[in-house]
Structure 1
Amino acid sequence: MKTTNEKQKTVVCYGEILWDIFPTKTKPGGAPMNVAYHLRKFGVDSRMISRVGNDEAGEKLLKLLTEWNIPIENCQIDQAYETGKVIATVLPGNEMSYSIHSPVSWDYITSGVDNDSLVSEADAFVYGSLVTRNETSRETLYQLIEKAKFNVFDINLRQPFYSPETIEYLLKKCNLLKLNESELGLIITWFSNNKFDEEASVRFLQNEFNIDEVIVTKGAEGASYYTKSISYSFPAFKVQVADTCGSGDSFLAAFLAKKFEGESPETCMIYATGLGAFVASHEGACPAYDIAKLESYIFQKQTS
């Protein structure tokens, strides 16, 4: 039997759920849904607050969430706008380019008492910047942030769907920030004329916006994790990349899951980099696996 300290953690993920349309396949996607999928693999009670259209694409997404044991009662159905779609293109170097349809159903997530209570009782609230492109979903996010115990901001910049003003507001509200190195470099230019290296950039953001924890992902160069006093850097596992879609989302999910288990930063980062590599070596953001398979994969990568 679990003790009070071992009680299952609840994490609410807010924002877009959609279909990623690749040249040869269509895969479920949206950063918040990807995070929720991987959290559930680790035994976290992950929840989604989103919105789909009253169409076949939306029905399929809700069915998929149900199959993944992610509750759908906080996923709204929009009668006017269709379910989100993204045209995904693989660029040289296995980087991804995205053409994101607009406006779609997840632009119109509305507030409500059910969402308020879900977020206020959860252990963490995960959100990105893409969902702020429309005023309706943005205002709902701003309300929910105020209810949360622990805010996790996974920036996920997608041109042209962000503004320095919105990012600044969200930075001020987060406890843990995750971003990649190019996003870090861009954001620093908004708030300072100085040229900083990675650590100085992170320390600047932490001091400017009072952010306790920051994760910087660097693709094949690995990732770094910063508290206000200590930093940890980890190399990436070498893999044959299929696509990088959702790799960062899986990284965040594994990190949070292990953090909530009380594991050390080193262990959190090993699982995070391991799952990020595993996902990058498969097509799509949500490949099938279990934790035993993941741990075997990590062990193999560490010893090879």
Structure 2
Amino acid sequence: MTDFTDRSKPDILCVGSVLWDIIGRSTMEMQRGSDMPGRITRLPGGVAMNIAMTLARFGMRPAVLSAIGRDPEGDELITACGHLGLITDYLYRSEDLPTDRYMAVEGANGLIAAIADAHSLEAAGDKILRPLIDGPLGTEAAPFIGPIALDGNLKLALLDDIATHPAFAGADLRVAPASPGKAERLRPFLTHGCGTLYVNLEEAGLLCQTTFTDSKTAADVLLSRGAARVLVTDGGQSATEADASGARTQVPPRVTVARVTGAGDTFMAAHIAAKSRGEDRDTALASALRAAATYVSGEPPL
């Protein structure tokens, strides 16, 4: 069992993409081919990174497991992680793979387009899991005990292995698809009936090969397809948390949308943090929706 008496030890692991987000935002509505004034920023990002950053703000001690190049961008990213309170001791640093990047364009009407370049993470494969399989975080005989947040930037074969690997048998797996285009990578967690899935309405539809009009219906169908537990969000309309014991649906607070990239990651992290504080299911869902709405409005989620 992992020893958490040392404050330098993580109490949650965030496994997946840790990269640079390059985001262009305009205050005007945009369409395909639009050329508008705005701001372009470069910030630490990636699904695992976004979740870890939010968890740290909520007072948890997250460690990130990912692949980062031994290039100047990677060195800068490691430094940024440290400033944000993240534990980076277990990262895989590659000599020949560049640090990954994500690029998005957002307008007043939301996300216009995005490209996630996570090729280095995919190429590294199970190398990023060595600290969980061969120590120091855990082994097959003494698996890590605690929550692990996974993102769908990992390849399908690796996610399938994680769903059944003895080294993850003691973990509370929390899984996000990273993007609708990678939603089907979460299928092993339906097949094996393990973990908690955090998906939006579109991602739920892709996983179930259908189209949903509300979060409650999507959650019910995901459970019928084998999911152990799900949280389905539908933007500003509703969110549903469900497992075999029942479901609860809530409507998020109404806010003016200032940004969208990272909102789902904030929701997931806030929900994990709320459960770690001992909040009941209804209160935890409300806390997560409030944090996500605050983030979307342009404010920090605290």
TM-score (norm 2): 0.79
For the pair 1:17 / 2:39, whether they are aligned, the reply is no
CA distance in 1, matches of 2:166, 2:67: 15
SS, match of residue 239 in structure 1: coil
Q: Shift of the alpha carbon at 1:51?
A: 1.1
Match of 2:68 among 52, 67, 71: 52
The alpha carbon displacement at 1:146 in A equals 3.3
Larger proportion of strand: 2
Give the C-alpha shift of residue 273 in structure 1: 1.0
Post-superposition Cα deviations, 1:126-156, rounded to whole Å, max 9, x if no partner, equal: 11212216x6x65875648734421111123
Residue by residue, what CA displacement relative to the aligned partner does 1:80-113 show, whole Å, maximum 9, x if unpaired? 1110111111156213521122522564140565
Partner of 1:299: none
Give the secondary-structure state (helix, strand or coil) at the position aligned to 1:83.
Answer: coil
Which residue of structure 1 lines up, in the alignment, with residue 242 of structure 2? 226
Taking the aligned partners of 2:212 and 2:266, their CA distance within structure 1 comes to 31
Matched AA of 2:175? F
Q: Cα deviations across residues 248-280 of structure 1 (Å, max 9, x unaligned)?
A: 111111111111222122221221111111211
Q: Does 1:188 align with 2:205?
A: no
Name the amino acid aligned to 1:49.
L
Query: Are 1:146 and 2:168 matched, yes or no?
Result: yes
Q: Tell me how far 1:198 sits from its aligned partner.
A: 4.3
- Deviation (angstroms), 1:202: 2.2
Give distance in 2, aligned partners of 1:9 and 1:102: 24
- For residues 95-106 of structure 1, the aligned pairs below 5 Å read 95=111, 97-101=113-117, 103-105=119-121
SS at match of 1:168: helix
- For residue 74 of structure 1, report the CA deviation from its aligned partner: 0.9
Q: In structure 2, what is the equivalent of residue 169 of structure 1?
A: 188
C-alpha distance after superposition, 1:6-51 (max 9, x if no partner): x998111101111111231112110111111111122222111011
Q: Distance in 1 between matches of 2:218 and 2:286?
A: 24
Letter in 1 for 2:144: E
Q: In the alignment, what sits opposite 1:275?
A: 291
For 2:270 and 2:118, how far apart are their aligned partners in 1?
A: 30
The 5 A counterparts of 1:109-148 are: 109=125, 110=127, 113-116=130-133, 117=135, 118=137, 120-132=143-155, 141=162, 143=165, 146-148=168-170
Q: Distance in 1 between matches of 2:129 and 2:238?
A: 40
Q: Distance in 2 between matches of 1:174 and 1:200?
A: 20
Change in 2 beyond 3 A, CA 1:63/1:246: same
RMSD: 2.9
- The residue correspondences of 1:71-82 to structure 2 (distance < 5 A) are 71-82=87-98
Which segment is superposed worse, 137-146 or 72-81? 137-146
Shift of 1:288: 5.3
Structure 2's unaligned 5+ residue stretches are 25-39
> Given the alignment of the two structures, is residue 205 of structure 1 paired with residue 222 of structure 2, yes or no?
yes
Greater CA drift, 79-88 or 224-233: 224-233
* Greater share of helix: 1
In the alignment, is the contact (CA less than 8 A) between 1:16 and 1:31 conserved in 2? yes
Q: Quick one: distance in 1 between partners of 2:118 and 2:195?
A: 30
Matched, 1:31 2:52: no
Question: Greater shift after overlay, 85-94 or 15-24?
Answer: 85-94
Give the conservation status (yes or no) of the 8 Å contact 2:104–2:113: yes
The TM-score normalised by the length of structure 1 is 0.78
Identity fraction in percent: 21
CA distance in 2, matches of 1:151, 1:50: 16
Shift of 1:54: 1.0
Q: 2: CA distance between counterparts of 1:93 and 1:13?
A: 30
Residues 214 and 234, structure 2, Cα contact 8 Å, conserved in 1: no
Q: Which range moves more in the overlay, 94-103 or 111-120?
A: 111-120
Q: Where does the alignment leave 5 or more consecutive residues of structure 1 unmatched?
A: 295-304
Q: Is the 8 A contact 2:16 2:121 kept in 1?
A: no
Which letter does structure 1 place at the counterpart of 2:178?
Answer: N
The aligned length equals 272
Counterpart of 2:100 (choices 59, 79, 84) is 84
Helix, strand or coil for the counterpart of 1:209? coil
